[in-house]
Amino acid sequence: MDQADCKNPHLVDELLIVRDSGEIPEVALHGSIFFLSHDPDGPGLELARDELGLLKEMAAARYREMVRRDLEPRNRGKSHYRGVVRCIANWRRMQRFCRRERIAINAFREEVAGALIFLLKKELAETAAGLECSSINCSADELYLFSRELGLDSGRLPEGWRQICRRTGGEKTA
């Protein structure tokens, strides 16, 4: 079953609510499950496995959207942009959620790795040209750990990437 096959209007509404939820999709997911099945003011549905799966996929889709948002160079300077530090936090939340719910993320991991490399190259080019100050709001150590979580080895990161990271004082310079 996919979202287009869903005939229950209550479930359709909740799928949209979870998909368009705020910064913590799991809260919206559990709120929707409660409303649909246990809330005295809700429709009192007994959700089937595929219906629960749809709701969980909407939460995962929201996580993917937030991770993409904070790696997209065009979003820098916009009010909804949170930067790499928030991207890392959302990636980790999404990863835990997807592992618990058995939702595959390997293809998305590759997409995120590519987006990170693209962002770093753009930042390096713009800062070298004097067009922008770096928007990378995490330390080089944090970025390095994130790149490893994405399966990137340091040789795939663009040369000079450490220079555009926020300084913390305790970082290795090698």
Query: Is residue 122 very low, low, confident or very high in pLDDT (cuts 50, 70, 90)?
Result: very high
Q: Write down the pLDDT at residue 159.
A: 95
The type of residue at 20 is: D
Q: Which residues are registered as beta bridge partners of 166?
A: 139
Average pLDDT over residues 119-140: 91
Q: What are the structural domain ranges in the chain?
A: 1-69, 77-174
> Which residue carries 């809700």 as its tokens?
42
For 1-46, the pLDDT digits (tens) are: 555 566 777 777 777 777 677 778 999 999 999 999 999 999 999 9
Instruction: Give the whole-angstrom CA distance, residue 62 versus residue 42.
Output: 24
pLDDT score, position 6: 67
First to last CA, the chain: 51
- pLDDT at position 166 over 70: yes
Q: Of the ranges 48-57, 128-137, 165-174, which is most confident?
A: 48-57
Of 90, 84, 96, 93, the closest CA to residue 144 belongs to 84
Question: Strand pairing partners for 139?
Answer: 166
Give the mean pLDDT of the chain: 89
Q: Is the pLDDT of residue 99 over 70?
A: yes
- How many of the other CB atoms lie within 10 Å of CB of 126? 17
pLDDT-derived band at 174 (thresholds 50, 70, 90) equals: very low
Average the pLDDT over 95-109 and give the result: 96
- Per-residue pLDDT, 154: 81
Which residue type sits at 132?
A: E
61-86 per-position pLDDT tens digit? 999 999 999 999 999 988 888 899 99
Contact in structure between 138 and 85 (CB atoms under 8 Å)? yes
Considering only residues 158 and 13, tell me which one the structure prediction assigns the higher pLDDT: 158
pTM: 0.84
